[in-house]
Chains A and B, each alone.
Chain A
Amino acid sequence: MLIYAVRRIIATIPLVLAATSIVFVLTSLGGDPVTAKLATCTTCDASAYQRLIDLYELDKPIYPQRYLSWLTDAVSGDLGVSLTQGERPVKDILIERGKNTFMIAIPAFLLIAAGAVAFGVYSAVRQYSISDYVITGASFIGISMPTFFFGLLLQFFVVYWLQKTGQKFFYTSGIHIDTFTEYIKSASLPIMTLILVSLAGESRFQRAATLEVINSDYIRTARAKGLPERTVIFKHALRNALIPLVTVWALDFAALLSGAVVTETIFAWPGLGRELISATFAQDLDLMMGVTVVAIFLTVSFNLIADLLYGVLDPRIRFD
């Protein structure tokens, strides 16, 4: 398995190089930091201009020279500096903002995984019951609703409640993490928003996977053995129904980052997603690349983890 993991990592390298190349070229073509800088900086003179050109090697072609020099730095751990934040190292920003993002992304991920299993298995076991219809219907609505609309709806309800009762249970913007209560109050709405789409999709997925499993021969065998229904469902069925879900978990965790862009923008949560938006609008090249690298890294590693887990869960798979 270790050999397999190493081989997979090696096989991923060209993929990552190609992906970063494309994003690098696109971002570099898409924005010129000097123009962006000069537009905001009235006192900058020719020397500042020259310094920027040197910093970004703007006199060289984008590809491969500029990309290669970015890559060399990146591999050695230097992701450059953010022009819009007083040339603060991108790495520092990523770590700080990354923490904030994970503060909502990790609870969201756990809730999605647990919720999907709970709803999916429940509605599969109670197929065609009222609760199955309710869960399925809610999933469909969840899948069909734009994330940002859901986030704004949540804000609307809180504001409406405030106007009606004068009480505000949740913060609708900003990060407050001094105490745990404060954290719950400020993180709840972003987390709920992050959860929506993935939870809806995964519940449906889990329901289908569970249905497929509980109609299989080996579940009939388990019942014929005289096992309690609990054991039949939670040991024999769930163990099989979880296998395909692991891949979805991995993909969804990576997708949480995209969700974070929307969520953090709505709730003014200072995480990676919001950083990406402001970097994009400000044409802050290194910062954009930094966030991109984090996203690519997460996608690739979660895929690898998913595949390895798949092998652990399903004995039929051998890594060779």
Chain B
Amino acid sequence: MESWTRGSALTEIKVSETALELAIGEEITTEAKSLGRQTWERLLHHRLAVGSGVILILLSISFWVVPNFSPYLFDQVAAGPPRSAPSMSHPFGTDPIGRDLMVRTFTGGQYSIRIAALVAITTTLIGAVIGAISGFFGRWVDASLSWITNMVLVIPALVVLLVLALRYGSGPWAIAFIIAALSWPRIARIVRGLFLTFKEQDFVQAARAAGAKPARIMFRHILPNTFGPIMVETTLNVGAAIILESTLSFFSLGVRPPTPTLGNLMEAAKGAIDSRAYELLIPGAIVTLISLCVNFLGDGLRDALDPTTKRSR
């Protein structure tokens, strides 16, 4: 029988966590489908993930390459007439002080991607370490770390985010760290769950019986097995971070101009939607596209890593 453990205040029930996985994950059925449709689907599936990956790579390359070939600098004032509509010399137009929006957009993408990657890695590191320790050592270590995890979940993230960003945040690093400090509980829970499961498995018991030290068991025996899910989470975190960065910027709390990010470009454009909507739509579409690709990629990764979804009935 399964144990229906009832935890403290905010521990989700086991079932709901797996269900959560499924929510973002792909089909759980291996139900038989018509042959043509199946081939089509596999193709589509791979295409989605692979296509998303390709788009992400191309976008990233363009973020680094385009600014280098642009005749303007991203903070070059009066590169053209102020508030000019898209034209040959300024494909994305110019902002109120005449800066070229194309070079700003691509440079902004560069910063956004950097911040997102930084956030994803930091979040993963914090979350994975806490989750691993919690799940591996159990007992009071687990109890206290789980308690802290729950507490972070209770705190209204946005409040803290606002306060911290207002007071400490302006540089990309600070922003990244602030977002990470509030996003780690999710991955911590997942990793904890994985460690709890693997801890009881035969190969770990065998290693323990052979006298392996805890650190060795953790890093050599269990960690490699958790790599897949951690990868998936990290990928999905990149998408979440891009959105969070832009949201913080929307409240003028992100990276400060003149350094552009996709978020603060949108913030700068929000007053102009009745006249120059493209100033908002372009960075907004890029943020959505990046996030969408990242989600598809994470989804595909999860599928690829899960042998049960690959098998035919």
Contacts and interface: CB of A to CB of B under 8 A. Distances in A.
Question: A contacts B directly in the complex (CB < 8 Å)?
Answer: yes
A66 to B, nearest CB: 16
A208 B147 contact: no
A147 B243 CA distance: 9
A49 interface: no
A188 interface: no
Contact of A128 (B37, B156, B287, B294): B37
B182 to A, nearest CB: 11
A65 interface: no
A243 B266 contact: no
A204 B296 contact: no
A205 B280 CA distance: 31
Contacts of A247: 12-13, 16
B54 interface: no
A88 B27 CA distance: 54
Given A144-B291, A280-B166, A296-B155, A205 B19 contact: yes
Given A156-B277, A247-B13, A145 B29 contact: no
B16 A148 contact: no
Interface in B259-280: 266, 270, 273-274, 277, 280
A280 B162 contact: yes
A218 interface: no
Contacts, number: 185
Interface string A307-320: 10010000011111
Interface string B13-38: 10110011011110111010100010
B246 A146 contact: yes
A215 B73 CA distance: 58
A292 interface: yes
Contact of A19 (B155, B164, B239, B288): B155
Nearest to B41: A128
A299 B246 contact: no
Central interface residue in B6, B25, B281, by most chain A CB within 10 Å: B6
Contacts of B292: 140-141, 144
Nearest to B270: A152
Interface in A121-159: 127-128, 140-141, 143-149, 152-153, 155-156, 159
A15 B151 CA distance: 6
B284 interface: yes
B28 A212 contact: yes
A262 interface: yes
Given A18-B151, A140-B295, A149-B266, A261 B158 contact: yes
Contact of A299 (B13, B29, B37, B156): B156
Nearest to A283: B166
B8 A11 contact: yes
B280 A208 contact: no
A163 interface: yes
A152 B158 contact: no
Given A208-B22, A208-B25, A212-B22, A153 B166 contact: no
Given A159-B274, A244-B16, A303-B9, A149 B284 contact: yes
B295 A12 contact: no
Contact of B156 (A248, A292, A318): A292
Given A148-B250, A205-B23, A317-B4, A156 B280 contact: yes
A127 B29 contact: yes
B97 interface: no
B153 to A, nearest CB: 8
Interface stretch (A21-29, A179-187, A219-227): A21-29
Nearest to B154: A19
B229 to A, nearest CB: 16
Q: A interface, by DSSP: helix, strand, loop or mixed?
A: helix
A150 to B, nearest CB: 9
B312 to A, nearest CB: 15
A248 B16 contact: yes
B61 interface: no
Nearest to A320: B6
B251 interface: yes
B54 to A, nearest CB: 17
Contact of A209 (B4, B22, B154): B22
A177 interface: no
A23 B159 contact: yes
Interface string B22-63: 111101110101000100010000000000000000000000
A317 B6 contact: yes
A31 interface: yes
B151 A215 contact: no
Contacts of B277: 156, 160
B13 to A, nearest CB: 6
List the 8 closest A-B pairs by CB distance, nearest first: A205-B23, A244-B19, A208-B22, A144-B291, A295-B156, A144-B292, A30-B167, A247-B16
30 contacts: A8-B9, A15-B150, A15-B151, A19-B151, A19-B154, A22-B155, A23-B155, A23-B160, A127-B29, A141-B288, A144-B288, A146-B247, A147-B247, A148-B246, A149-B280, A152-B280, A153-B284, A205-B22, A245-B19, A248-B23, A258-B157, A261-B158, A276-B162, A280-B159, A280-B166, A281-B166, A288-B163, A300-B9, A304-B9, A317-B4
Interface of A: 4, 8, 11-12, 15-16, 18-19, 22-23, 26-27, 29-31, 127-128, 140-141, 143-149, 152-153, 155-156, 159-160, 163, 201-202, 204-205, 207-209, 211-212, 215, 243-245, 247-248, 257-258, 261-262, 265, 276-277, 280-281, 288, 291-292, 295-296, 299-300, 303-304, 307, 310, 316-320
Given A141-B288, A205-B20, A299-B153, 15 more contacts: A19-B154, A23-B160, A31-B163, A148-B246, A156-B281, A205-B23, A208-B22, A208-B28, A215-B28, A215-B31, A245-B19, A247-B13, A299-B10, A300-B9, A303-B10
